[in-house]
Structure 1
Amino acid sequence: MKGKTSRKSLKARCVLLGVLLCATLHQSTARQMDKCQLARELMRHGMPEHELADWLCLADHESRYDTGAVGRLNGDRTVDHGLFQISDLYWCDWSREEPQRSYRNLCRASCDDFRDDDITNDLACVRQIFDEHKRLQGNGFMAW
C-alpha cells in the first residue's frame, strides 16, 4: 500500500512539474500588459463598454494583466490559464492535437492558447463563460 501512495505522489509531482515547465516555456510568447493596453484590446474586440471596468478589474486580480499566467485552484488538480485564469476543469483541454475531443472542453481550445499574447480566443471563451453563468446565476462575473 505504501508503494502505491508514493507512486501516486511521484506521478502528481511529475504532472505538476510538466505543467510548470510547459507554462514557463510557453510564456516566451506571453506578454505583460498594463491597464490601458488591455482596455484598448477589449474595446478592439468588441467588449461592451459598460463591462470594461469589470473586465479590467478581473484581469488585474486574476493575473496582474499577464497573458501567460498559470494558477492552481485549492488543490483540486485543476489549473487556470492566462489573463482571465480560464480553468481546465470545463473550458479547455491540454491536448493540442485533438482539443475538441474532451467532453469538458466547452470552449473547444487548447489551454496553451490562453497563455499566449493573442487574447482573441481568451475573449471568445470568457464571453462564453460569462454568458453561461449569467444564464444560470444572473451575473456572468460570478464565474470568477
Structure 2
Amino acid sequence: MKVFAFFILLIAVTSAKRLGRCTVASIFKANGLDGYEGYGLGNYICMAFWESHFKTHKVRTSDNVGKDYGIFQINSYKWCDDGLPGGKNLCKVKCGDLLGDDLKASVDCAKIIVKLEGLKSWYTWEKYCDGRNMRRWTKGCDLY
C-alpha cells in the first residue's frame, strides 16, 4: 500500500507545472490583463509569483476558510466552487478549472475579483508589489 501511495504522490508532483515568467506575461497579456482596471501587467505577474511561484496546479489550505487554487491562489469560499457547502462562487467556476495551464479560467476569475475589490484583495500584492517598480516582471519578455 505504501508503494501505491508513493506512485500516486509521484504522479501528482510530476503533473504539476510551473510556468516561466515570460510565459505567464504572454498569457496574461493575451487574456487582457495589461492595464485591466488601471493596473499594469507587471502587477499581475508580481502578484501571481508571490501567490504561487507560477505553479498552475497549486492548492493550499487557506488561513481563513476554504482552499486557495491555481496561479492566483483564488479562494474557494468566496470565488469558486470546490463542492463544499456555504461557498459563494462569485466567479461561477469550479475550483478545479483554476488549475489549468492555459490560465483562462484563472484570469477570468481574477478580473472579477479585481473589478470588485482591486488587487488589494491579495495580501501578497500589497506586501510585495504595490508601489514598486513593475518593469522587472516584463523585462526581456517579447510581448509585442
TM, length-normalised to structure 2: 0.68
Q: Does the CA contact (< 8 Å) of 1:68 and 1:115 recur in 2?
A: yes
Give identity over the alignment, percent.
28
Superposed, which structure 2 residues align to 1:57-68 within 5 Å? 57-68=46-57
Distance in 2 (CA, whole Å) between partners of 1:34 and 1:83 is: 12
Q: 2:41 aligned with 1:52, yes or no?
A: yes
State which of 28, 43, 49 in structure 2 corresponds to 1:42. Answer: 28
* Residue of structure 2 in register with 1:143 after alignment: 121
Deviation at 1:94, TM superposition (A): 1.5
State which of 89, 104, 122 in structure 1 corresponds to 2:77. Answer: 89
Q: Does the CA contact (< 8 Å) of 2:80 and 2:91 recur in 1?
A: yes
RMSD: 2.6
Q: Secondary structure at the match of 1:80?
A: strand
Regions of 4+ moved over 3 Å: 24-27
Could you say which structure has the higher helix fraction? 1
State which of 54, 61, 69 in structure 1 corresponds to 2:58. Answer: 69
Q: Gaps (5+ residues) in structure 1?
A: 1-20, 96-100, 134-139
* Residue of structure 2 in register with 1:33 after alignment: 19
Q: Secondary structure at the match of 1:92?
A: coil
Distance in 2 (CA, whole Å) between partners of 1:63 and 1:84 is: 7
Q: Does the CA contact (< 8 Å) of 1:92 and 1:110 recur in 2?
A: yes
Alignment CA distance shift 1:132-1:27 (3 Å): farther
Name which structure has the greater RCO, CA cutoff 8 Å, separation 6+: 2
Distance in 2 (CA, whole Å) between partners of 1:64 and 1:102 is: 29
TM, length-normalised to structure 1: 0.68
Deviations, residues 72-127 of structure 1 (Å, cap 9, x unaligned): 222x34100000000001111114xxxxx976011111111111212001100000
State which of 117, 122, 127 in structure 1 corresponds to 2:111. Answer: 127
Deviation at 1:141, TM superposition (A): 0.8
Distance in 2 (CA, whole Å) between partners of 1:72 and 1:113 is: 17
Distance in 2 (CA, whole Å) between partners of 1:113 and 1:56 is: 20
Distance in 2 (CA, whole Å) between partners of 1:94 and 1:126 is: 17
